Chains A and B, each alone.
Chain A
Amino acid sequence: MDAILLQILNGMDKGSAYALIALGLTLIFGTLGVVNFAHGALFLIGAFCAVTFSKILSLSHVVIDESQKDFLGNPLKVEVPYIYDMFGQATGDVIIDWAVPLSLLFTVPVMIAIGFAMERGLIKHFYKRPHADQILVTFGLAIVLAEIVKYFYGANPIPTPAPSAFAGSFDFGAMLGFDPNTIIYPYWRLVYFAFAAVIIGGVFAFLQFTTFGMVVRAGMADRETVGLLGINIDKRFTIMFGIAAAVAGVAGAMYAPINSPNYNMGMDFLVLSFVVVVVGGMGSLPGAVLAGFLLGILESFASMSVVLETLPGINQIIIYLVAIIILLTRPRGLMGRKGVMED
């Protein structure tokens, strides 16, 4: 019982990450009809926005300390962050500690700008081109973006810890009356879960309850008619692209403490997020979120050792196996519309 509760919790958490990425992907697909293989790269850039921001905070000038020696026996160079000079050491440390949450202030505008630039500079020219061309050009872009990150940050993962206030884990077991330590969960992952819920809810509310969202939804359903009504739908779609990029970006930035970001993480998430979107049904926002959680939970269950003992290797293939079963029983994924991306 407690083991199952634990894996559901786990799956919800993993699912929230999948859902966040898939949401942005399906937003772009639904509005613009573009298959964006560079979406994983946007997630990557978001994570590296957090890295960059914490590097900026720790920008230092060098003080030579004659009393200490470095590994070659030369006088040690001590780096003092500028932020110490500005706020004093104590406040400076607190700011550096909170770098990841604070980086959202930096990530959102950067990602919106990148989203606009991508849409206006590149994607716009591909609306009328075949999906295969869209895939190729965005895949090329994804490689280029990842290589740029590698050029500046190397290939190694870069530790980007959460604020120390969120270190450690919360003991659900004790709260629910189980033995202590049976159901524990890290604070930062709970934060991530809540954060994902807020973002997903926010995007839905925005599309559902604002005039802007209504126009965009109308445009998704029938772009031509909305255009004929005299509405500049292109401009709104550009804004939606910016929003989708920002969603991917903040998902990446907040993910940085969970797994140290490296330049390959975009590609790692790319295939998975496509599977999630397709299982959810192309063009369906609720489908993407539902599929994200479903696959996250199933993946967690498949990694339980009881399951692995009976079906060795099931954890390797569970996501793809489930995708096949769902696509064979429900032709357009969980909530897909007829005729979308079927030819």
Chain B
Amino acid sequence: MFGLNKKDAGLLIVVAILALAAPFILNPFPEGSAMAQFNAGYPDLMQRLVIFGIFAIGFNILFGLTGYLSFGHAAFLGVGSYAAIWMMKLLTMNVIPAIVVSIIIAGLFSLLVGFISLRRSGIYFSILTLAFAQMSYALAYSVLTPITGGETGLQPKYTDPRVLDKALEAGQQPRANLFGLEMNQGFQLEMGNWVFTFNAGYYIAAVVMLVAFYLSIRIFRSPFGMMLRAVKSNQQRMNYTGLNSKPYTLAAFVISGMYAGLAGGLLVAMDTQVGAERMFWTASGEVVLMTILGGAGTLIGPVLGAGFIKYMENIVSKINKSVLEQWFAFMPDGIEDVLVAIIYPFVGKGWHLTLGLLFMLVVIFLPGGLVEGGQRIGKMFRRRDANANSIEADAAEQRKPAAE
């Protein structure tokens, strides 16, 4: 199907089903129950999960295949976002031009950065990309304020020119739309105590994510993908055979930069605002963490890693003391207080602590990331065909010899 082998097609279909049914899957708990706190099926978080999934998929094309660890990918996401918001301010609130231009601009910027940075390899490459991203951040926050809005960022205003749109009536808000379909439109489905939200913006982002995922499978399985793996496993040998690896790595760099630009454009399409923090080194670090956490070099891993981190950030950080007290209200007083005291440091304002601990646990016990965790569980259930069970096994194997 679509030029994929059976396993890959199966994976794509599984991802498609998961993405389309996300409003159900992410809202497993009935409203009003204590566990409803863990529901993630609201539009903003669902959008972020798939958008950062796209970002991580793109990053994985560079890092997972070639082994080049870029520490500056957030810059491409940020540049893409700025391009998109300017399209919305000047041209139209339709998201199509915004997203297309964000991909193009991010691609051009990554071509420039990649051309320079790829002259070096290893950690020297990482620091070069980091330097470019930090310069972009610092300038966007300060001297480029007229273009970027600096600290306060940019949002569409109803006074913006927007040459292609007809003037807004008084009191109308500029809203991002796809030929009139606004991103925040949707409907809710009530089933007993359960409420499921279906949001137009999410489904647009999810479809884009599926396309991006499909492209990444094609790249992984193509001769070009093989070439990139050759760069990772032994660049020297590749050079000796007379192949120049640089065009391949540069192409991979630009492709992943365009993925980042796409993610940036989509972020603006879903939530019409850009701030310079998007380009800070911690944001670049985050996508590295997403990819490694999920499983670098695997197809689905980066998406899982992105989902994991964004879920932590948005759900665990909102659990405050009174929520905890509610959960344990049924317990006797003393035990309740003890439980609250034990859990409290790890949630709410302590969510970073939980995140850090989970990073460590995953890396220590699951060197292949979350994908490896999934494989181990899979193996437990299907011992007999353990060898055949995973599409990801070969990819996960790939990264092991990288030590030394």
Contact = CB atoms under 8 A, between A and B. Distances in A.
The finding on whether chains A and B are genuine partners in a shared complex, rather than unrelated, reads yes
Given A130-B399, A316-B142, A142 B356 contact: yes
Interface stretch (A166-174, A233-241, A274-282): A274-282
Nearest to A278: B127
B123 A341 contact: yes
Interface in A46-100: none
A333 B120 CA distance: 11
Contact of A278 (B69, B123, B143, B358): B123
A321 interface: yes
Contact of A133 (B116, B138, B292): B292
B363 A137 contact: yes
A115 B350 CA distance: 25
B360 A317 contact: no
Interface in B113-154: 116, 119-124, 127-128, 130-132, 134-135, 138-139, 141-144
Name the 7 nearest CB pairs between A and B, nearest first. Answer: A143-B356, A140-B359, A313-B143, A320-B131, A316-B138, A147-B353, A342-B122
A148 interface: yes
Nearest to B124: A327
Interface residues of A, number: 46
B403 A128 contact: yes
- Give the dominant DSSP class at A's interface: helix
A313 B123 contact: no
Contacts of A144: 353, 356-357, 360
A313 B139 contact: yes
B281 A271 contact: yes
A223 to B, nearest CB: 11
Contact of B124 (A122, A317, A320, A333): A333
Contacts of B134: 271, 317, 320
Q: How large is the interface on B (under 10, 10 to 19, 20 to 34, 35 or more residues)?
A: 35 or more
A343 B122 contact: yes
Contact of B289 (A128, A129, A136, A313): A136
Contacts of A312: 143
B360 A324 contact: no
Interface string B159-191: 000000000000000000000000000000000
Contact of B128 (A132, A267, A324): A324
A148 B360 contact: no
Interface string A135-162: 1110111111011100100000000000
Contacts of A321: 131, 135
Q: Give the most central of A128, A140, A275: most B CB within 10 Å.
A: A140
B320 to A, nearest CB: 16
A324 to B, nearest CB: 5
